[in-house]
Structure 1
Amino acid sequence: MKNFDIARHFGNQRGRRAAAFATAGVLAAGALLAVPAAAQAETIDWAPADPSDSAVSLLATPTTTDVVVSARIAYQRAPIVDVDNPAYLEGVTFELFEPAGNAPGAATGYTCEIPAGALDCTISIPDTAPGGANAGDRFYVVMTSAGDNATPITELRTGTSSEPFTRRSYPGLTAPAVGGQTLAFPSQGTGEQLNSLVTAATLDNPTLDPSCVTSERLSLATQLDLSGSIDEQQRTQYREALEALVVSLEGEAVDLTVSTFGSSSPVAGRAGGPFALDTDAGLDAALDAIDSYVRPVSGATQQTNWDLALRKVADYSTTFDALLVVTDGAPNYVSNSAGTGGQEVFGSRVTIASLEQAVFSANAVKAEGTRILAMGVGTGVDGRLADNLAAISGPIEGSDYFQGAWSTLAADLQAAVSPLVCVSPVTATTYVTDVSGENPVATDGFTVGAATSAVSAGTATVTGDNPQVTGADGNPTGTADWAVSFSDADATATLTVTQEARAGLTLTGSSFTVTHADSTTTTGTGGSPLVIPGLTRGDRVAVSFTNAPAVDAATFRVRSVVEGSAADAVPDSTTFSVTYTVNGVAAATPLTVRADGTIVDAPVFEVGDVVVLTQGAQPAISGVEWGPVPPAQTITLTDAAQLVTFVNTATAVGPTPTPTPTSTTLPTPSPSPTSGMLPATGSEATAWPFLGGAAALLLGAAVFMVSRRRAARHS
């Protein structure tokens, strides 16, 4: 396995920086380099150069140690090499902190600031001569300010792509302070601490006015993670969530470009667009693209390459208003030197370098005015693992980066994108409790609708099927969803959501939670219709309707059992279909029962309803002969659930019995002639043919028996 060549790719800026250390004399060979966290120091021989090339201070005195901290915000390694760009660095400050376990503790007051046009600054540590207060001490370097245009990165997470659980204080820990020495920071680490030899910072995420403010089309790009950690069920949820996002933008002035990433980007040419989502053709093309792009990838397992995914967007022929990055882990690959594919840094592990290179590429995207929305989904990016997402987007959860689960990805994606297009996503979920009103369960089959009124300015239009049936058309269990599209950025509206009554159930209450763009919430309760006032663009609405069995509700239960000599030959998994009518009206969905007698609960109806149940024909099973199909059964529902049992008889089918062969009486042989008498003419010749005929008869019987057994085996 070929590892990333750090020296070849990052070593050129070290040479430039090294040359700047020499002033009136040349540093002694073996000057120590600072190493992030616990990595080992290394020795480098520096060459003399003009000190005006750098902001490095003069050589440390015998009682001090200088730490020269290099930083980059604008940085490009591939395909164009531009690693010494000082853009955005003016005013970036660093300070040394005392260690407190594996993290920075108390501030020391030892600081530096990068001046205009420089790439680094120098922190001087006093009292580092033998016996001095700081002799041999190590310090955490902390970026205390990233200047006017960026945000410091204080922590990153390394490990595996799907489990990046190792916390790294960033940029790390210096080497021991020794009087008279100058330390370059950061220097190269090992393993997961391999780095870019410069300290990164997160360029500020551009602000973006929504389309209803600008009255312009929104250019939206997506980069979709197709790494091998996504399983088949997650892939289905992925596809459905992306398709739901596209449908929620139907009719909006959005041009959608879709691309993918794994070890490289795009993956196997899976990229397309732009698709105009306010046209039928564009909407259909976008849905078709998503369906084909998210399918499994053949060949080698796909890794996670944020660097190239972001760099491809930065290098695209046109710029975008926003970029949505969807990922389930952390990056363990970086772009190759040509910018045409990906390569590992340290095996399949997530490293500081693979994260830093992603930050630099994200900064290039943001420098073009493109806002990045980083959506993390699954266990690889939840909780504190958001540090990596924030590093490529920005520090604000719910605005720069988002975290969710595969099961909620549809709502999470809509929440991330809807503020850009003056859309408010609405989700309604219908629940049914037990008879005591406890244990609510999301339940399909309820008809729900949404409408707007009291719109303060412009229009507020409900998009999506209206009304809908919860759980239908690919919606998660018990849910329906819409979007309210505002034509005026400052408009408010009243939203009304209804649930139609359902036989045998009583609506016991409803509630709503509105999550605003600033993450504050508004809640309320009611019935049906449920009225939600003051809705604005970017709000996210979650509605719940709770139902319970009515007082006069009734139901029944059904099972099938198998008896008879061949009952054991019928697999427990064998199923029978039971259709039924209620007061003469056929149920839309039959009940499926198993041969092992498992009881199946029917839907809820009302006391007094007459139910006729009919079991369908039994399935053919080798070696089993079924008795008649059990007769239909009629019951009248009461307040107690009745159990209906269908009894099926299974009889063993044996092989056809072998017929008994007919016995043959042989003639009595002639007595042997007595001594001295001639034998009868031909007596010895006639005995052997007779015995041969008997043998042939016995052989024929044996062949007949074998044939019967073969026939029985293959019947």
Structure 2
Amino acid sequence: MTRFNMPVRRPPHRGAGRPAGRLVALLLATVLIGTAGQAGAFAVGDDAALNAPAVEKTDPGATPAPEEAAPVPAPEETQSTPAPEQAEEAPEEAPAKAPAPKAARSQVAPLSVPAPGANEAVITVKVGGDRTGSAAASNLAGVKLRLHDGDANNLGAARTEAWATCTSDAQGDCSFRVPDTQNRGANRDRRFWVVASSAPEGWYLNSPLVTSGVNEYRFRTGANLRSGNTYSSRVDFMNDASYSIGSWLLNASASDSSGTWQTSRMNPQLPLTCETGLKVALILDLSGSVSSDLGNLKKAANGMVDSLAGTGSSIALFTFADIAPRSSGADGRNYASMAIDTGTNRKTIKDRIDAYATGGGTNWDQGIWQVANDAAKYDLAIVVTDGQPTFYGPSASGPGNATRFIENERAIFSANALKAKGTRVLAVGVGEGIKGNPANLRAVSGVSGYASGGNANEADYFQADWNQLAGVLSSVAKGATCQADIDITKHTHAYGTSGPVQGGAGWGFNATATQGKLSRTGTQQTNSSGQVSYDLGFSSPTGTSEVTLTETMSTAQTRDGWDLTKITCTVNGTNVPVSSPNAKISVTAGDQVDCTFLNTQTLKPGLTIEKSAWDTPTSAGLENARELPDGGSVPSGTQITWKYLVTNTGQTKLTGIAVVDDQLAANAVSCPGTVLDAGKSMTCTASGPVTAR
């Protein structure tokens, strides 16, 4: 087992500092006492006492004693009941003391843990479900655990004997009765790995969990396994062996655990009706690491408020850092649920978000628990965090700069309590600090991660960059309130230009839907950016509709040579097949549809020339000259002037124009220019003698 190499400094503002003189005394006490203190003990259900008649406890790495150690009755252990937790600002943790010896176990074990029989030892694991207080979780029945062989670093094969499998009972106890543990027995002092194999209906297992070291959620039993003894997960092999001296956390390991096996509740679904709006809890991580992206966090949170506007929804604001809320002032306090659409509430909520500041560590446990412990009930809770949990509990227990199993376990128990109230929990990990394995986000929300092209309504957890957060929260809000967004962008490729550009205003579109209600009807015109948008509202979060998008060009656009040449569409960022002359797309509540319509201008050239003869020897006399009629005659050799009316009858500008008359010399015709815009005309002239033929 790898322990953190250096003592970890806990935040001094938690009030755990001590005078130097007392610190020396505490260090001395630690040397004398050793590491027996169980700093992370976590009570489960009503079983406050440890579940063994007489349990042998030795250092897990110690060499087994050669002789049988007979059980010796021990004084009864007592455990205090945790004080009720505060709904808002948690009390500060009392200054830590040097580790004290563990209390002896009770001689009388609860009926749920069997007493070891002849030549037997019992390994018992406590299994927890929902958090019920500041340091307690309910018992969870139906979790199946199994013993595996293996060495210190590698998991071996599962044992196939019946005694190597257990299922937790109503008291949350899962007990293995291991035979042949007498002196020289085959299983004496054998070490096993405890691994979960299945969860009861409505729950799911979590392995791995992301920590600062080991990730696979499994635990190896201690060095001793001897007949007549019971070995408990909360004391002998799964518990937190770290301890505090002043503001220092010593002997910490990534595998430190509360001693209570975690399992996650399945995530509840949202209400199947969309008529009354949602009650939303927005849980924001305001730890110090968020500071450089606080602007993005506020923008995204405010955008979510805007996306919920008009739906009859309400929103409550919760914050956390190393404690929850982050502070009691406007820069970090919680705010009770407020209806978004009433009066100026929308602005009030956004102003509150804009006042938030950052500072401190990351305590998922307490951030989520404050919502579970709230008297109000929420349909949807959205946890936005930029990092893994490094603290737990109301007084910020934990290393502060590393993640262990215990920080995750406590967050899972709190999330279970929130889900037990019927609240759907969405976890959004944002930024570099929580990229990679999403196991911890999954553990506090549900089993389905969001993938590009997926529907936000079907996802339990998300991972995004900071610049994507606003889109993620908007999609979540739209989906949760039974809406889909449809955005159209017009691109145009004008004749003679190098490529398409975003079109401007004045392009018309129609949209129809087989189900749901569109926010706009009739022909809609693009704005100055060439865009038009629709909202599609459903009566159910599972609503689906076929949407048809059609472009309607004006007479002038058609005359100018514009034609629809390509349509491309994506749904939630993934391309979907569409074809001209319209786009037909299947749309579900929560979808984000983006379509681009490309129009290309194709211009046809055209030119006419009208020739006339005039009775003047040069073009200078044309003003007073008489036009000679078609078919008329003049004496051979008469000098006359010809006029050529050149007209551009096409759709495009003509360049390089030159008129050549095959009855005259090649350069006889003179024109005022060589360029004609569409619809324009010019008169060219030539003079010469009439020759009889």
Same-fold call, TM cutoff 0.5 = yes
Aligned to 2:348: 285
For the pair 1:512 / 2:563, whether they are aligned, the reply is no
Of 184, 197, 200, which residue of structure 1 is paired with 2:232? 184
For the pair 1:310 / 2:346, whether they are aligned, the reply is no
Aligned to 1:209: 271
Aligned to 1:170: 217
- Structure 1's 347 and 291: CA in aligned 2 closer, same or farther, altered over 3 A? closer
> Which 10-residue stretch deviates more, 277-286 or 428-437?
428-437
Contact 1:248 / 1:482 at 8 angstroms: preserved in 2?
Answer: no
- For residues 350-499 of structure 1, the aligned pairs below 5 Å read 350-384=403-437, 386-398=438-450, 399-427=459-487, 452-456=511-515, 459-461=517-519, 483-487=535-539, 490=543, 492-496=545-549
**Which secondary structure does the structure 2 equivalent of 1:484 belong to?**
strand
Of 326, 331, 348, which residue of structure 1 is paired with 2:389? 331
Residues in 2 aligned to 1:278 and 1:203: alpha-carbon distance in whole angstroms: 33
Residues in 1 aligned to 2:495 and 2:111: alpha-carbon distance in whole angstroms: 77
- Structure 1's 93 and 426: CA in aligned 2 closer, same or farther, altered over 3 A? same
- For residues 14-25 of structure 1, the aligned pairs below 5 Å read 19-22=50-53
Q: Deviations over 1:597-634 (max 9, x none)?
A: xxxxxxxxx9999xxxxxxxxxxxxxxxxxxxxxxxxx
Displacement, 1:286? 3.0
**Which secondary structure does the structure 2 equivalent of 1:376 belong to?**
strand
**Which secondary structure does the structure 1 equivalent of 2:298 belong to?**
helix
Displacement, 1:407? 2.1
Aligned to 2:130: 74
**Which secondary structure does the structure 2 equivalent of 1:170 belong to?**
coil
Q: Deviations over 1:52-84 (max 9, x none)?
A: x2422223654x543211111023342xx544x
**Which secondary structure does the structure 2 equivalent of 1:349 belong to?**
coil
- Structure 1's 147 and 513: CA in aligned 2 closer, same or farther, altered over 3 A? same
Residues in 2 aligned to 1:65 and 1:435: alpha-carbon distance in whole angstroms: 87
Aligned to 2:620: none
For the pair 1:111 / 2:165, whether they are aligned, the reply is yes
Aligned to 1:139: 192
Aligned to 2:143: 92
- Structure 1's 333 and 488: CA in aligned 2 closer, same or farther, altered over 3 A? closer
Displacement, 1:231? 4.7
Contact 2:364 / 2:392 at 8 angstroms: preserved in 1?
Answer: yes
Contact 1:60 / 1:179 at 8 angstroms: preserved in 2?
Answer: no
Residues in 2 aligned to 1:98 and 1:449: alpha-carbon distance in whole angstroms: 70
Unaligned runs of 5+ in 1: 35-41, 160-165, 337-341, 473-477, 553-605, 610-635, 637-715
Displacement, 1:446? 8.2
- For residues 5-16 of structure 1, the aligned pairs below 5 Å read 7=38, 10=41
- Structure 1's 219 and 18: CA in aligned 2 closer, same or farther, altered over 3 A? closer
Contact 2:525 / 2:532 at 8 angstroms: preserved in 1?
Answer: no
**Which secondary structure does the structure 2 equivalent of 1:407 belong to?**
helix
Contact 1:54 / 1:120 at 8 angstroms: preserved in 2?
Answer: no
Amino acid in structure 1 at the alignment position of 2:324: S
Amino acid in structure 1 at the alignment position of 2:568: S
Residues in 1 aligned to 2:345 and 2:460: alpha-carbon distance in whole angstroms: 28
Aligned to 2:594: 542
Displacement, 1:91? 1.6
Contact 2:388 / 2:434 at 8 angstroms: preserved in 1?
Answer: yes
Displacement, 1:332? 1.0
The CA RMSD over aligned residues, in Å, is: 4.6
Contact 1:141 / 1:173 at 8 angstroms: preserved in 2?
Answer: yes
**Which secondary structure does the structure 1 equivalent of 2:132 belong to?**
coil
Aligned to 2:681: none
**Which secondary structure does the structure 1 equivalent of 2:479 belong to?**
helix
Amino acid in structure 2 at the alignment position of 1:178: L
- For residues 600-619 of structure 1, the aligned pairs below 5 Å read none
Q: TM-score, normalised by structure 2?
A: 0.62
Residues in 2 aligned to 1:191 and 1:249: alpha-carbon distance in whole angstroms: 43
- Structure 1's 209 and 11: CA in aligned 2 closer, same or farther, altered over 3 A? closer
Residues in 2 aligned to 1:155 and 1:449: alpha-carbon distance in whole angstroms: 53
Displacement, 1:90? 2.0
User: How many residues of Structure 1 are paired with residues of Structure 2 in the alignment?
Assistant: 506
Aligned to 1:345: 398
Displacement, 1:277? 3.2
- Structure 1's 348 and 551: CA in aligned 2 closer, same or farther, altered over 3 A? farther
For the pair 1:49 / 2:121, whether they are aligned, the reply is no
Displacement, 1:481? 6.5
Displacement, 1:375? 1.2
Aligned to 2:301: 242
Amino acid in structure 2 at the alignment position of 1:140: W
- For residues 588-607 of structure 1, the aligned pairs below 5 Å read none
Q: Which gives a bigger RCO, structure 1 or 2 (Cα 8 Å, sep 6+)?
A: 2
Amino acid in structure 1 at the alignment position of 2:468: T
Amino acid in structure 2 at the alignment position of 1:401: Y
Aligned to 1:555: none
- Structure 1's 97 and 413: CA in aligned 2 closer, same or farther, altered over 3 A? farther
- Structure 1's 44 and 128: CA in aligned 2 closer, same or farther, altered over 3 A? farther
**Which secondary structure does the structure 2 equivalent of 1:229 belong to?**
helix
Displacement, 1:102? 5.2
Residues in 1 aligned to 2:347 and 2:200: alpha-carbon distance in whole angstroms: 45
- Structure 1's 344 and 535: CA in aligned 2 closer, same or farther, altered over 3 A? same
Amino acid in structure 1 at the alignment position of 2:402: R
Residues in 2 aligned to 1:305 and 1:414: alpha-carbon distance in whole angstroms: 25
Aligned to 1:533: 585
- Percent of paired sites with the same residue: 26
Unaligned runs of 5+ in 2: 1-8, 17-36, 63-99, 242-251, 451-458, 605-651, 656-674, 676-693
Q: Deviations over 1:547-577 (max 9, x none)?
A: 999999xxxxxxxxxxxxxxxxxxxxxxxxx
Displacement, 1:101? 8.6
Residues in 2 aligned to 1:280 and 1:238: alpha-carbon distance in whole angstroms: 25
Aligned to 1:524: 577
Contact 2:52 / 2:231 at 8 angstroms: preserved in 1?
Answer: no
Residues in 2 aligned to 1:331 and 1:43: alpha-carbon distance in whole angstroms: 29
Displacement, 1:396? 1.5
Residues in 2 aligned to 1:104 and 1:444: alpha-carbon distance in whole angstroms: 62
Residues in 2 aligned to 1:19 and 1:512: alpha-carbon distance in whole angstroms: 62
Residues in 1 aligned to 2:490 and 2:185: alpha-carbon distance in whole angstroms: 71
Q: TM-score, normalised by structure 1?
A: 0.60
Aligned to 2:261: 199
**Which secondary structure does the structure 2 equivalent of 1:258 belong to?**
strand
Displacement, 1:252? 0.9
Contact 1:273 / 1:286 at 8 angstroms: preserved in 2?
Answer: no
- Structure 1's 454 and 348: CA in aligned 2 closer, same or farther, altered over 3 A? closer
Contact 1:451 / 1:497 at 8 angstroms: preserved in 2?
Answer: yes
Contact 1:17 / 1:54 at 8 angstroms: preserved in 2?
Answer: no
Aligned to 1:661: none
Q: Which structure shows the bigger proportion of residues in strand conformation?
A: 1
Aligned to 2:377: 319
Residues in 1 aligned to 2:390 and 2:508: alpha-carbon distance in whole angstroms: 46
**Which secondary structure does the structure 2 equivalent of 1:532 belong to?**
strand
